[in-house]
Amino acid sequence: MAYKTNFKNIDLDKYYFDEKTANIVVQYIEENVKHVKGDKAGEPFILEQWQKDDIIKPLFGWKHKATGLRKYTSAYIEIPKKSGKSFLAASIACVFIDIEREGGSEIVGVAWGRKQAGLVFDATKQVIQKSPRLKSKCNIYRNSITAPDHIGGLKTYQILSKEAGGEDGINPQLAIIDELHVHKNNEVLEMVEKSQGARKQPLSFIITTAGSDLYGIGYQRHEQAIDIAKGLIEDESQLVCVYGADKEDDPFDERTWKKANPNYNISIGKRAYEKEANKAMVSAASLNSFKRYYLNVWTQSKDGWINDEVWTKSHWDFDDEMLRDYPCYGGLDLSSRSDITAFSLVWKIDEKYYSKNWFWLPEDKGTQSADKKNIQYREWVRDEYIEETSGNVIDYDFIIYKLGQLNKLYDIQSIAYDNWNSHHIAPKLYEEGFDLIEFRQGFKSMNAPTKELQAMVESKKFNHGNNPVLRWMVGNASVKSDPAGNIKLEKDTRSPNKKIDGLISNIMAFGLWLDKPDSNKSYLEEGDLYII
């Protein structure tokens, strides 16, 4: 897999290639940047052909005919580990520190964590120390680098992270966004990119490896970049360069390694790949890491319940109004009072299933949250996939009211719920006339509906409505088995912010359909469910 900007499709009536400038930048890097680590320490950094042709030359060479300004104001570079990623970014930082002619130029290194933000910055410091030209021009401090500009002002390079703060008031000419895949949301990235608006020819330079969060901003930008490279999204201002293996490639074949890493046998050799591949052969966790870091393949963080590609294909367009004419079953997964609560309705129509989902969250965990680990909650509240209740705990009376509204709109037969943490709300729902069925979370209760729901999704007979919150929760779920082969889903207890509540509410609602009177056998008869 290699997705790159197709320069043959550039409109030559609007743009031209400045060969002289492109060559000057290449020459500058190769004359002033020296390796700082490994066997080549102290030697000039000679750019590989792919680095010149795919990144450096097009970034600095393609320009607008009308203004002479650079065509590309953003770049998305995704390459495997040991491809010279940080060093390439440091080289571009040196270009902007030294020969970029813009007064008061600001450079920022951006990452989610302070440590990550410092990697390219520290590499830049080391490059400066080994370059007589740069060393004579730059002042190096603990958290910044400064150099004079061409009009008597000062250029600065500093690092920003969500941990360190300091984002306010910046106006960067160059923003280096490192390892986007670990960003929890788009907050930092969006702020930095918006802050570049006053610059004539800024550059937002994203450089990352693949990650394990298929629902975060990193994967969103990955997908967007590939669509730009394919021509499915029109964005003439973004340069794209993505190298990696395809998901169906044999991860242990050397041909895959060569395909995935353009620096194979240059900055990393066969022996290093063999070492990591041997680990991956005996460990599922190591295999995931090998695919991400060395093959640049996005993966789920663990052995999930349903592959994301399978899940996303199980939906189709339909008239939502038709659901009013059919009976449905509900599933209510109650959170602790300070967390997300999920409610699902599932219909069975012509041997296919339809799901609608509602999520509630205390505002102190959503738009007013200071906990940045609640990754997309703000976006989902904004897009009305999650509804907030006031305060720092969930408002059960509000949820009862909402369920009452839904009961007027739809023909809800029964609602399955988990008895845990339900003593506040279950009696009130019963008083409101709801038929409630206690649905325990043990292997016997969860096994049949979980397996059957998986089969429905795999056969594209369960329409989940493409709900992004539910998709995220599906990706958070892992399978746990008992000695008898029964299964249930659970979240990773080491990652409490990875929720699966909406998935559980769907399984419970779907499970009630399996107990219809015309079923051959009811798993409800096994003693794990109770009607109150």
Per the prediction, the chain carries an average pLDDT of 88
pLDDT at 372 over 50: no
pLDDT at 524 over 80: no
Residue tagged 């990352």 (tokens) = 208
Q: What pTM was computed for the model? A: 0.69
* Dihedral class, residue 465 (left if φ above 0, else alpha if ψ from -120 to 50, else beta): left
Q: How does pLDDT run across 456-484, given as a tens digit for each residue?
A: 999 999 999 999 999 999 988 888 877 67
Mean pLDDT across 380-389 = 92
Q: What is the H or E stretch that residue 94 is in?
A: helix 85-98
Mean pLDDT across 335-341 = 75
| Residue-level pLDDT at 115 | 79
| Residue-level pLDDT at 493 | 63
Give Dmax over CA atoms of the chain in angstroms: 85
Mean pLDDT across 179-206 = 87
Give 286's Cβ-side CA count (13 Å radius). Answer: 12
Q: In the 3-class helix/strand/coil scheme, how is 40-51 assigned residue by residue?
A: CCCCECCCCHHH
Q: Please, what is the end-to-end C-alpha distance for the chain in angstroms?
A: 56
Residue tagged 């997705």 (tokens) = 3
The DSSP annotation for 200-227 comes to SS-EEEEEE---S-TTSHHHHHHHHHHH
Reduced to 3 states, what is the DSSP secondary structure of residue 248? Answer: coil
Residue 239 backbone dihedrals phi, psi, to 5 degrees: -90, 135
Helices (H), 345-496: 377-382, 396-409, 426-431, 443-458, 468-476
Mean pLDDT across 50-54 = 97
What band does 531 get if pLDDT is binned at 50, 70 and 90?
Answer: very low
**Which amino acid type is present at position 338?**
S
Reduced to 3 states, what is the DSSP secondary structure of residue 508? Answer: helix
What band does 270 get if pLDDT is binned at 50, 70 and 90?
Answer: very high
Write down all domains in the chain, each with its CATH number in brackets. 2-243 (3.40.50.300), 308-531 (3.30.420.240)
Q: How does pLDDT run across 77-127, given as a tens digit for each residue?
A: 999 998 989 999 999 999 999 998 888 889 999 888 877 778 899 999 999
What band does 216 get if pLDDT is binned at 50, 70 and 90?
Answer: confident
Q: Among 368-382, 386-400, 475-489, which stretch is predicted with the lowest mean pLDDT?
A: 368-382
Task: Report the alpha-carbon distance of residue 213 to residue 292 in Å, rounded.
Answer: 11
Mean pLDDT across 418-439 = 85
Quote the percentage of the chain above a pLDDT of 70: 90
Please, are residues 437 and 290 in contact by the beta-carbon 8 Å criterion?
no
Q: For residue 376, give the nearest of 185, 231, 118, 528 by alpha carbon.
A: 185
Strand 139-140 to strand 144-148: parallel, antiparallel, or no bridges (unpaired)?
antiparallel
Q: How does pLDDT run across 484-506, given as a tens digit for each residue?
A: 778 899 886 656 778 999 999 99
Task: Report the alpha-carbon distance of residue 197 to residue 195 in Å, rounded.
Answer: 6
What band does 371 get if pLDDT is binned at 50, 70 and 90?
Answer: very low
Mean pLDDT across 376-404 = 88
